[in-house]
């Protein structure tokens, strides 16, 4: 047992300095930083909320603007939202955007870097010009909340139907809501005009390129105008096909104006149907 105690491993107690040894070796050094800090604070009088300050000191106080808890205009949020601020710089008219159903709420939930930037790059890639991004997003702010993959799928569908890049750019720019519609909706709409008017694939493409809102608007007014042309105005199916192909806007014109114009040209001026078919622009 004695030899074990005298071995290379000393007992734990022998490694610990006695309290007296520790006290003898430890010297207390002055804390200069604490002393300086103490002296500095001693020089500063206690502040008071009622303390009078000079005009120079008052101007130096920077107060952060508070985020409005409730507002009827998006303008009040521009200083607090990077997304709104950058959209304004792009030329987006927030006064028009806020008139659209829940569009303002959508923009306030979007992060510019995460949500908006990728859509802007997509639109530029599709062919929307830089100076048209503002007006485009003013008319259709909802595209900023769309899934990028879904948007790319719709463009791919148009390309599969042999629409060229410049044609797609023209269609998207002139009909900002076009890419909000599903591939099924776009396909059904192209099929409707092809079958209803008896057009070829090329003629159908040309028709919607010249008036792309035919793909986004309601079909009821279009169907009604086709009936008016056939039943009330007396045009034959092949004549209607020629008229619409030459002047697509006839499909979206008001029925009242359509009938008044026809009445004047045909009944008063005596222009026959075949002449109106050749020159429907009148």
- Profile the chain (282 residues) by mean pLDDT over runs of 10 residues: 43 42 47 47 48 58 47 78 94 94 93 97 97 97 98 98 97 97 97 96 97 95 96 96 96 94 95 95 77
> Is residue 229 situated within a structural domain?
no
- Indicate the SS3 state at residue 146: coil
Could you write out the DSSP letters of every residue in 190-243? HHHHHHHHT--HHHHHHHHHH-GGGGTS-SHHHHHHHHIIIIIS---HHHHHHH
pLDDT digits (tens, 9 = 90+) for 29-44: 455 444 444 444 444 4
Residue numbers of the domain that contains 102: 68-145
Nearest to 131 by CA among 165, 93, 90, 167: 90
Which pairs with CB-CB distance under 8 Å and at least 24 residues apart come from 11-14? none
Nearest to 172 by CA among 206, 138, 205, 136: 136
> Is residue 267 situated within a structural domain?
no
Q: Dihedral (C-alpha) 62, 68, 69, 74: value to the nearest 10 degrees?
A: -150
pTM over cut 0.95: no
Question: What separation in angstroms does the CA of 101 have from each of 115, 120, 134, 193?
Answer: 20, 22, 19, 30
Q: What is the pLDDT of residue 52?
A: 56
> Is residue 94 situated within a structural domain?
yes
Q: What is the pLDDT of residue 51?
A: 56
Q: What is the pLDDT of residue 25?
A: 46
Q: Dihedral (C-alpha) 268, 276, 209, 190: value to the nearest 10 degrees?
A: 100
> Is residue 77 situated within a structural domain?
yes
Report how many domains make up the chain.
1
Question: What separation in angstroms does the CA of 102 have from each of 99, 106, 107?
Answer: 8, 6, 9
- Indicate the SS3 state at residue 65: coil
> Is residue 230 situated within a structural domain?
no
């Amino acid at each position: 047992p004695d030899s074990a105690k005298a071995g290379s491993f000393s007992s734990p107690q022998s490694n610990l300095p006695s309290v007296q040894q520790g006290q003898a070796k430890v010297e207390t050094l002055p804390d200069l930083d604490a002393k300086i800090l103490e002296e500095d604070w001693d020089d500063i009088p206690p502040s008071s909320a009622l303390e009078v300050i000079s005009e120079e000191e008052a101007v130096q106080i920077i107060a952060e603007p508070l985020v409005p808890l409730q507002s009827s205009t998006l303008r009040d949020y521009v200083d607090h939202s990077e997304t709104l601020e950058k959209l304004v710089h792009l030329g987006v008219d927030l006064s028009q955007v806020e008139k659209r159903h829940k569009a303002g709420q959508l923009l306030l939930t979007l992060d510019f870097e995460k949500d908006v930037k990728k859509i802007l790059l997509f639109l530029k890639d599709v062919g929307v010009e830089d100076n048209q991004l503002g007006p485009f997003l003013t008319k259709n702010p909802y595209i900023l909340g769309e899934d990028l993959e879904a948007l790319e799928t719709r463009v791919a569908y148009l390309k599969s139907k042999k629409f060229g890049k410049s044609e797609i750019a023209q269609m998207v720019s002139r009909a900002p809501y076009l890419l909000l519609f599903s591939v099924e909706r776009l396909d059904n709409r192209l099929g409707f005009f092809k079958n209803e008017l008896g057009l070829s694939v090329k003629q159908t493409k040309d028709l919607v390129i010249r008036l792309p809102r035919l793909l986004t608007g309601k079909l009821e007014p279009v169907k009604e105008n086709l009936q008016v042309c056939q039943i009330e105005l007396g045009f034959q199916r092949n004549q209607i096909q020629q008229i619409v192909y030459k002047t697509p806007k006839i499909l979206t014109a008001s029925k009242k104006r359509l009938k008044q114009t026809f009445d004047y040209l045909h009944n008063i001026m005596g222009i026959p149907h075949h002449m109106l078919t050749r020159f429907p622009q009148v």
